[in-house]
A and B are shown apart, each in its own frame.
Chain A
Amino acid sequence: MTNTLHRFGDAETFRDDFIVFAIASKGKNDQDSLPKLRRFLELAIPFKPVNLGDARHGGALRPSKDMHPTSHWNRETKPDFDAVLQGLDHPTTCAAVFDNKVAAEDFVKRVKEEDLGLSVNISTSIDGAEQCCFHAGIPRHSVGYSLGFEGKTEKLPNSQVLMLSTMCGHGMVSNSLAKKMIDWVKEGRRTPEEAASYLTRFCSCGVFNPSRAKRILEDARTKTT
C-alpha cells in the first residue's frame, strides 16, 4: 500500500499517525480471506481507531449519493464503523488508522494473538513501527522505506498542503481542496474538525487520518508555512 508510504512530514509529525493494514496475497492466501479481513476490522474497533476502511468502498466517513438539502446544517462528522464492516464484500486491503501509539501497539498485539494468517503492515515513522513490533514481540519481516519526493518538486505545494493531501496517497484529496480548507479555517468559515471531515470523505480506502488533519489545520490557522 504505497498510498500510505509517502506521507509528507518528518518522523515527529507522525506521532499521531499509525496505519495498520491487512492484505491477502493473490493466489497465495486470498481464498476465504473475506471473513478474516472483516475480523481484522472488527478487532480494531475496541482500540478506537480514527478511521477504518477497505480499498473498494472507502473509509468510515463517506460521501452521500443522495444528500438532503437540510444536511448542510447537520453534516455527520463521526466515523461510521458499522458501514465499513457491512460494506466489505470482496477481499481487498483493509486498514485501521490510530492517532496514538498505545492504541496502535495494543491493536497489533491483538492481531498477532488472533493469528489470521493475513499479511499485516504498519505504516508510520520507522521508530513507531519498531515500537509496535517490540510491544507485540514480533521481529519485523520486511520494511519498505519512503525516500520522499524528488524530481520536479517545484510543482509541489507548501508543506501544510502536502501533509494534508498526501494522507490519501491515491491522490483523491487534491492539493487545491487541502489549500482551500486551510484558508477556510484561517477565515473562520469552518472549524478544523469540519474541514478535516470534508477531506476525509474523498479518501477512497479509509487511510486518511482526520485526527492528524485536524491538528495540521489547527496549526495552519495561526501560521501558514
Chain B
Amino acid sequence: MKINPNKCVACGNCTYVCPMGAIYIDPVIKRATINRDECVECYACFNGLSQEHLNPTMVRTMRKAFQMMRLRFDPEPDVCPTAAFEPDELSWPRVVRRAFSDPRVPHESTGVEGRGTEEVKTNDVSGRVKVGEVGFTIEFGRPGVGVRFHEIQKMCWALAKAGVSFEKKNPITSLMTDVPTGTLREDILNEKLMSAIVEIKVPVERTEEIVRLVWEVEKQVDTVVAMGVGTRCDEEGEDHVVAPILERLGYKLERAKTNIGLGRVNVVATPEQIRQEVPAA
C-alpha cells in the first residue's frame, strides 16, 4: 500500500485505523507515510476508510487556516478526504503479507478467505476432526500485534518434533518446504503478517501434552498466541472428554464456536480430497 503525497492532506485519520500502527505523519514532508516494514498489507486503510474526492489544495488551505486560529477539526474519523491510498503491485515474497492479512483475499492454497482454513466449522461435512481426536488452531499475532514467519517457525519445528500431523488444507502448511520437520520457506521468514494459524490434529490423549508444548514455545515468541481447541461431540451433543482436560489445565471455558451439524456432502470426494492430513515424522 502507498499513500499519494500529492493527494494526502495529513488529516491523520488513517494513523488510527492502521491495525499495525504503521502509518504516521512524517514531520519533514508533512504527509501520512507508511512504515513499509511494519505494514502487513491488510488493506484496512484502503478498504475500511470511506473516501471523499476533495481538492487537496483546498483542504490543506482550510486546515492551515483553522490551525492558525487554534480551532479543532471534528471531521468524521473514518474518512480519507482525498482518496490518497493507492494499492501497490505486490511481488513475492511481500505478497504473502496480503494473503495472510487481507481477509477478503482467498488463500491460493485453500481457496478460503480470512486465515484460509475451515477447521471445525465444516466438520459435519469434512470429518476433519473425528471422535477421539482433537484439532488445535494455534494462532499468532492476534489481536492487533502481528507476527513474522520466523516466530511461527519456532512453533512448527516444536510441533513437528513432537510428531503431530499438520493440517494439509492450511495456508501455513502449504508454505512448508519440509512438512515432516515443519520447516517454512526461507524467503518468507521475515515477512510480517496480521495473523496466521498453525493447525494440527492429535489423538485426544495428547491434548495436555500439546497444550503444555504450546505454553513452552509461546514463551519464546515475540507476539500473542490464541489457541482454539476443536473436538467432535458425542451423540447427545455433549463433550465430556476435552473440556475437562482443558479445565484441569486451568482454562475457564467461556466462548466457543459450535457446529450444529446441519451440513451435508453433495459431491463425491476424490482420493486427493479424502487425504487431508500430512503425517509428520
Residues in chain A within 8 A of chain B (CB atoms) = 1-11, 14, 21, 23-32, 55-56, 63-69, 72, 75, 92-93, 108, 111-112, 115-126, 129-130, 132-133, 136, 138-153, 155-157, 162, 165-166, 169-177, 180-181, 184, 189, 198, 201-202, 204-205
Contact = CB atoms under 8 A, between A and B. Distances in A.
Contact of A141 (B118, B143, B225, B233): B233
Nearest to B262: A120
A76 B39 CA distance: 30
Contact of A138 (B53, B144, B237, B266): B237
Interface in B155-191: 169
Interface in B237-266: 237-239, 242-243, 246, 251-266
B198 to A, nearest CB: 12
B1 interface: no
Interface string B114-144: 1101111111111001000001010100111
B267 A126 contact: no
Contacts of A171: 19, 42, 44, 101, 142-144, 194-195
B113 A142 contact: no
Contact of B262 (A63, A129, A138, A198): A138
B266 A29 contact: yes
A169 B197 CA distance: 12
Which A-B residue pairs are the 4 nearest by beta carbons? A139-B237, A141-B261, A119-B263, A140-B237
Interface string B148-160: 0000000000000
Contacts of A149: 142-143, 224-226
Interface of B: 15-19, 21, 42, 44, 47-54, 74-79, 83, 101, 103-104, 110-115, 117-126, 129, 135, 137, 139, 142-145, 169, 194-195, 197, 214-215, 218-219, 221-233, 235-239, 242-243, 246, 251-267, 269-270, 273
Chain A CB within 10 A, most for which of B195, B224, B260: B260
Contacts of B222: 152
Chain B CB within 10 A, most for which of A4, A72, A119, A146: A119
Contacts of A92: 113
B232 A146 contact: no
